Amino acid sequence: MGKIRLFIDHPLAAGQPVPLTDGQAHYLSSVMRQGAGNEIAVFNGRQGEWRARIAALGRKGGQVDPVAQARPQQDPPDLWLVFAPIKKARTDFIVEKAAELGAARILPVQTDFTNSERIRQDRLQAHAVEAAEQCGGTFVPEVADLTPLGRLLDGWDPARRILWADEALAGPAAPDLYLLGAVDADTGEVAAFEELVGSHGGRAVPVPLTAGYEHDLEAMAAAITDRTRLIFLCTPNNPTGTVLHTDEVVEFLARVPQNVVVVMDEAYYHFNRDDAAVDGLTLLNDHPNVVVLRTFSKAYGLAGLRIGFAISAPEISDDLRRVATPFTVTTLAQQAAIASLAAEDELNERVNRIVAERTRVFDELTRQGWKIVPSQANFLWLVTGDDTDRIDEVMVSHGVFARCWSGEGIRLSIGLDAENDRAIEALSQAVKG
C-alpha cells in the first residue's frame, strides 16, 4: 500500500469512484510524481483508512477507486482543546499538534488578552486535515469558529470537566543550554525551535535579522557566551529567502569556540543562484563543529515522506545517533530518497523552472509596488506589515493560500505557472483594495 495519505470528504466503499480536487490532483501528479495505477491511502474521518488506486489525474481534478479498507476507524477520546489564538504561525502550530495528539474538537476563543481579533477557520481546518494526513490518523478534529470565552462558558455542559492549564505555575526552566538563532528584525519573534529548546531545559537566544532581512552574524558573534552550546543558521533563510556568503561565514566561524556546534540548515540549497553564497559542505574539513542539514522535502519533492539528512564530523554523528528517535524514517522513504539521487536531470529541470518562475513573479509583483526581499529559495517574502491580514483575506478569496505572519509579512511559494498567475492577479486586487 502506498504511504501517501489523502483526506477525502466523500463516502468510501470498494469499487465506488471518488473524485479528487484540483489541488489533490496537482499534489499527486506534480509533487509526489504519481500516475494512474498507483496506490495511495485515503480516509474521510469516519470510515477508517482505505487502499485506493489512482484512476485518473488531470488539471481539473482526478479520480481514485477505493479497493479495500486497510484500517478501521479510530476516534480519539472526547477531549476538547480550548485556547486563545496568538500569532498566526503559532496558532497554526497549536492546531496541527492538537490534531496529531488526538483532540476531538479544537475551539479557539476570544479573551481580553487574545492577540488576534479574527482567525480564518477554513485555514485552521486545512491545517488539521494536513496534520491528520501526515501523522497517520483516521480522525480529523473539527476546528470551530472563534468564539468569545464568556459565551462558550455560558453554554457549557456542567457535566463536562474543565482542566485549566496555568502557565504561571510551571516555573522557569534552568538555562543549561543556550541556542542562538536569527529572528525577524521588526518583531523579534523567536522561531518555533524555541519551544523545543525550552522543553529540554535550555534557553533560546534570539538575534534579530538586519534591516535587509539577513542574518546579523556580527550580532550573533557578540551574543556568544560560555553557556552557548549551539548556533543555528538558516541559508537560504526561511521565510525571507536571503543567503549567507562564504567569506562572512568563514569570518564568523573564526569567532565561534570549537565546543559550540554550528548548525547550517540548507533545506533550500538547490534553489540558490548566488555564486557567492556559502555551501556548508565546503566548511566541514576546516570546521569540525559545523553540521549541515539538507532535505528531500523541497527540491526533490518528497515532502510527504519526511526524510532529510545531516552531514557532520564522525564525533557529532555518533552523538546524534545516541539521541535520535529510532524508526523515524521508513524503508520506503529511504528507497525513494536513493532513487531521487539518481534523477539529477529531472531535479535540475524542475528547479530551473521554479527559479525562472521565481524571477518572473518577483518582477511582476515589484512592478505592482510590493516590497519583496530578493530570494534564493522557492518562495518570496512580501513585507506587508500591519496590512497582512487584509491582504491574506483578498488572496484567500481568489483561492490563493500563502503562509502569513500577522503584522509582519507573507511567504508566497512558487508553484505552477497558472497558480503563480492567480497569485499575481490576487495581489493586484489587494493593491487596489
Question: How confident is the model over 32-51, as pLDDT tens digits?
Answer: 888 999 999 999 999 999 99
CATH class assigned to 172-339: alpha beta
What does the alpha-carbon distance between residue 218 and residue 69 come to, in Å, rounded to a whole number? 57
Cβ atoms < 10 Å from Cβ of 150: 11
Which residues, 6+ apart, have CB-to-CB distance to 128 below 8 Å?
95, 96, 98, 99, 106, 140, 141, 143
Which tens digits make up the pLDDT trace of 368-410?
Answer: 999 999 999 999 999 999 999 999 999 999 989 898 888 889 9
For the cut 70, the answer to whether the pLDDT of residue 181 exceeds it is no
Residue with cell 492567480: 422
Burial of 382 (0-12, 13-18, 19+ CB in 10 A): buried
Of 171, 88, 102, 161, the closest CA to residue 131 belongs to 102
Block residue for cell numbers 529548546: 197
CATH superfamily of 5-71: Hypothetical PUA domain-like; domain 1 (2.40.240.20)
Q: Is the model's pLDDT at 26 over the cut of 90?
A: no
| Fold: same for 5-71 and 172-339 | no
Give backbone dihedrals phi and psi of 82, rounded to 5 degrees, phi first: -110, 120
Distance CA 333, CA 307 (A): 7
User: From CA 8, how far away is CA 102, in angstroms rounded?
Assistant: 19
pLDDT score recorded for residue 323: 75
Going by DSSP bridges, is the β-strand pair 228-234/178-183 parallel, antiparallel, or unpaired? parallel
For residues 255 and 84, which has the higher predicted lDDT (pLDDT)? 255
H or E segment to which residue 399 belongs: none
CATH 3.40.605.10 applies to domain 80-155: no
Q: What local confidence, expressed as pLDDT, does residue 39 receive?
A: 93
Looking at residue 248, its pLDDT comes to 97
Q: What is the pLDDT of residue 173?
A: 45
Give the class (CATH, top level) of 345-432. Answer: alpha beta
What is the pLDDT, as a whole number, of residue 189?
46
pLDDT at 169: 60
Geometric angle at alpha carbon 97, from 92 and 99, rounded to 5° = 95
Please tell me the predicted confidence (pLDDT) of residue 135. 85
Mean pLDDT of 337-360: 94
Q: Does pTM top 0.85 for this prediction?
A: no
pLDDT of residue 144: 94
Of 300, 297, 299, give the one whose Cα is nearest residue 340.
Answer: 300
Distance (Å, whole) CA 183 – CA 189? 6
Domain boundaries in the chain?
Answer: 5-71, 80-155, 172-339, 345-432
**pLDDT of 236 strictly over 70:** yes
Q: What burial class does residue 268 get, using C-beta atoms within 10 Å of its C-beta: 0-12 exposed, 13-18 middle, 19+ buried?
A: buried
